């Protein structure tokens, strides 16, 4: 299963994404974020998709949708929205649903990676 995660501003929330990458068994990791998120580094391989997070909601959703087309191999993804705000979350979730692909929310806890 692929992991799709939003990387927004605030490096503190990136620890959750890094932990998910380390502790999950992912076929592919796709990280979506703005210009600031290009600073994210990790020892594991990932694909970074840069979008303009300052766009209007509908435009952001369409941008994410177009950039994700053809990048997801399965019928569902693990999704982390630990980073970001409501507008960014809505745009990403809407884009995934419109691909269409199923969503399983993933989080890293003291017990490991869990589906919510």
Per-residue pLDDT of the chain (116 residues; tens, 9 = 90+): 999 999 987 667 888 899 999 999 999 999 999 998 998 999 999 999 999 999 999 999 999 999 999 999 989 999 999 888 899 999 999 999 999 999 999 998 888 898 88
Q: Are 22 and 48 in contact (CB under 8 A)?
A: no
Domains of the chain, CATH where assigned: 2-115 (3.40.50.10770)
Distance CA 78, CA 91 (A): 16
Distance CA 21, CA 43 (A): 9
Please tell me what DSSP assigns to residue 51.
Answer: -
Q: For residue 30, give the nearest of 77, 75, 76, 62 by alpha carbon.
A: 77
In what helix (H) or strand (E) does residue 23 lie, and over which residues does it extend?
A: helix 14-23
> 102-109 and 112-115: which strand pairing?
antiparallel
Q: For residue 99, give the nearest of 69, 58, 67 by alpha carbon.
A: 69
> CA angle, 106 as apex, 2 and 18 as ends, to 5°?
75
């Amino acid at each position: 299963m692929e992991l799709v995660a939003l990387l927004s501003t605030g490096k503190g929330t990136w620890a959750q994404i890094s932990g998910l990458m380390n502790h999950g068994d992912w076929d592919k990791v796709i990280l979506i974020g703005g210009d600031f998120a290009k600073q994210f580094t990790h020892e594991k391989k990932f694909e970074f998709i840069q979008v303009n997070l300052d766009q209007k909601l509908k435009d952001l959703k369409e941008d994410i949708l177009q950039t994700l087309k053809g990048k997801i191999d399965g019928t569902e993804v693990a999704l982390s929205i630990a980073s970001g705000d409501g507008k960014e979350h809505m745009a990403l979730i809407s884009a995934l649903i419109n691909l269409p692909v199923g969503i399983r929310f993933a989080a890293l806890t003291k017990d490991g990676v869990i589906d919510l």
